[in-house]
């Protein structure tokens, strides 16, 4: 067990061998990595545990740099466990490099079917028993997709929970993937309107970039391809507090003048690749729409829902925009089949992703009856007009979970937990404790 010290904190590594399929406890095992963080000088204090569930899907837990972000507020009260959810970070990885070990695409898809929130919750319960004992309870902080996992936790194993804090992650309990994107595209359009109002010169600048890409897609430094659709997907940034500004600075530096005239700047292509490449978290694309699959809501496949629903919103069609004088709209947190052609980290997983997109009868993730009888203290931050998680869906779920207290705010965007210096977490803690 490795123990390290950073400014103001002590970090301890933990690795757990958990069942790939918790329904077969004696079957194949995979590793789950977690990093314990405690305030320096309090290593031996009997502090309650707080397990952090990261957003995604497919993202490892944050790598702390001492007492940064929301950690200082958490460390005032808790011993924190930063969990690398299965397939991410230092847990047994699931990438284009490792998945071929499983066999063909069908075998890979079958393997990845065990990587949703239901399995993540069972991993948490396995780990809780190892660290706290059978009767120990811990607190959970779920950000974005981590909030989805937290609601699944409340649905399936509330006996392991002391209290739950959710930020930007109350899922719709009875919405399909198609419902999610029908609600999402109008929100994404509003974020576009806000961006172009803030930076009106970007309207023509973006049209120029997309026109050039339509004539000749650009090769990115790592081998990926920047197409009009890929460029539009940079709108994913618009859901964070500083994303509009970051996108503007990217757009304004798109071209330099070479011997033959304007060409895409290497710096522009390199930065675009940083935002577009999913090499570090491929499961974000491979598993994204499966997080909405529930057979009691819809027994059918998710079936590339974002791509299908996009056709219902022609204003996102770049060709139509360029044919007139409309701004080219960026997209957001939407996954499309073409991503498995333009991103080298995803291309080998194209058939696997297709099989998951066509998979039917996903097990249910949420239990409305159990949530209606909930007796675990829960508080949730709901960000007004959150681009990634529909506010109306979140509010409906808040009403459906007995005793859940909400804080609806427009002070922050979806990244409020990370950028608020602990204020978001502090408010949720005070809500749960009845101080507000």
Instruction: Convert the pLDDT of each residue in 362-402 to its tens digit.
Output: 999 999 999 999 999 999 999 999 999 999 999 999 999 99
Tell me how many degrees the CA angle 383-311-327 measures, rounded to the nearest 5.
70
Length of the chain: 436
DSSP alpha helix (H) spans, 94-176: 105-112, 117-132, 145-156
CA distance linking residue 362 with residue 399, whole number of Å: 25
**Which residue in 91, 144, 155, 240 is the catalytic one?**
144
* pLDDT tens, residue by residue, 284-297: 999 999 999 999 99
Give the residue carrying structure tokens 């405690």.
38
pLDDT of amino acid 270: 98
* Residue 386 is among the residues annotated as catalytic for this protein: yes
CA distance linking residue 289 with residue 412, whole number of Å: 26
Q: What is the mean pLDDT of the chain?
A: 97
Where do the domains of the chain lie?
3-173+366-432, 177-357
pLDDT of amino acid 66: 85
Dihedrals phi, psi of 205, to nearest 5 degrees: -60, -45
360 with 300: CB under 8 angstroms? Answer: yes
402 with 374: CB under 8 angstroms? Answer: yes
* Residue 248 is among the residues annotated as catalytic for this protein: no
223 with 213: CB under 8 angstroms? Answer: no
For the domain spanning 3-173+366-432, the CATH number is 3.40.50.1820
CA distance to 128, 134, 157, 213, 328, per residue, from 122 (Å): 10, 14, 8, 45, 43
CA distance linking residue 223 with residue 151, whole number of Å: 39
Q: Please tell me the number of Cα atoms within 13 Å of 39 on its side-chain side.
A: 16
Residues 231, 235, 241, 247, CA torsion sign: positive
Asked if pLDDT for residue 429 goes beyond 90, the answer is: yes
Q: Which two tokens stand for residue 4?
A: 């390290």
**Which residue in 118, 386, 390, 415 is the catalytic one?**
386
Asked if pLDDT for residue 253 goes beyond 80, the answer is: yes
Give the residue carrying structure tokens 């397939």.
87
CA distance to 70, 145, 272, per residue, from 171 (Å): 23, 8, 30
pLDDT of amino acid 68: 87
39 with 75: CB under 8 angstroms? Answer: yes
Q: Which two tokens stand for residue 123?
A: 């991993």
**What's the rounded mean pLDDT across residues 424-435?**
97
pLDDT of amino acid 281: 96
* Residue 144 is among the residues annotated as catalytic for this protein: yes
* pLDDT tens, residue by residue, 197-214: 999 999 999 999 999 999
Q: Which two tokens stand for residue 425?
A: 């977490």
Asked if pLDDT for residue 138 goes beyond 90, the answer is: yes
425 with 416: CB under 8 angstroms? Answer: no
**Which residue in 195, 281, 288, 414 is the catalytic one?**
414
Give the residue carrying structure tokens 């974020």.
191
Asked if pLDDT for residue 99 goes beyond 80, the answer is: yes
Question: 264 forms bridges with which residues in the sheet?
Answer: 255
Non-local (6+) Cβ contacts of 396 within 8 A are: 172, 173
């Amino acid at each position: 067990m490795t123990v390290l010290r950073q400014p103001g904190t002590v970090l301890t590594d933990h690795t757990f061998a958990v069942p790939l399929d918790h329904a077969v406890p004696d079957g194949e095992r995979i590793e789950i990595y977690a990093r314990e963080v405690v305030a320096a000088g309090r290593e031996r204090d009997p502090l309650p545990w707080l397990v952090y569930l990261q957003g995604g899907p497919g993202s490892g837990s944050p790598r702390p740099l001492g007492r940064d972000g929301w950690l200082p507020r958490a460390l005032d009260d808790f011993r924190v466990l930063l969990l690398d959810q299965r397939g991410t970070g230092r847990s047994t990885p699931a990438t284009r490099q490792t998945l071929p070990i499983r066999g063909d695409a069908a075998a890979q898809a079958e393997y990845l079917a065990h990587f949703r929130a239901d399995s993540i919750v069972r991993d948490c319960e396995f780990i809780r028993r190892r660290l706290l004992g059978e009767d120990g309870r811990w607190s959970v902080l779920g950000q974005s997709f981590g909030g989805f996992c937290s609601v699944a936790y409340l649905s399936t194993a509330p006996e392991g929970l002391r209290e739950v804090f959710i930020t930007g992650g109350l899922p719709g309990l009875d919405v399909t993937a198609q419902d999610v994107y029908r609600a999402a595209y109008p929100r994404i359009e509003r974020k576009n309107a806000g961006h172009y109002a803030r930076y009106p010169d970007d309207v023509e600048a973006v049209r120029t970039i997309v026109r050039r890409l339509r004539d000749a897609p650009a090769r990115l430094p790592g081998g990926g391809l920047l197409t009009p659709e890929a460029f539009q997907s940079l709108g994913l940034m618009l859901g964070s507090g500083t994303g509009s500004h970051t996108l503007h600075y990217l757009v304004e530096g798109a071209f330099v003048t070479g011997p033959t005239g304007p060409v895409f700047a290497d710096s522009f292509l390199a930065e675009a690749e940083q935002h577009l490449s999913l090499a570090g978290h491929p499961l974000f694309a491979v598993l994204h729409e499966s997080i909405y699959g529930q057979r009691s809501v819809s027994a059918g496949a998710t079936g590339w829902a974002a791509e299908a629903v996009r056709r219902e919103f022609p204003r996102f069609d770049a060709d139509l925009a360029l044919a007139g004088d409309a701004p080219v709209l960026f997209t957001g947190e939407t996954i499309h089949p073409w991503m498995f052609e333009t991103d080298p980290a995803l291309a080998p997983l194209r058939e696997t992703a297709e099989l998951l997109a066509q998979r039917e009868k996903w097990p249910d993730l949420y239990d409305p009856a159990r949530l209606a009888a909930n007796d675990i203290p829960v508080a949730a931050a709901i960000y007004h007009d959150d681009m990634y998680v529909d506010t109306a869906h979140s509010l409906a779920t808040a009403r459906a979970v007995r005793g859940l207290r909400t804080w609806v705010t427009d002070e922050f965007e979806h990244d409020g937990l990370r950028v608020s210096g602990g204020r978001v977490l502090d408010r949720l803690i005070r809500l749960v404790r009845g101080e507000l």
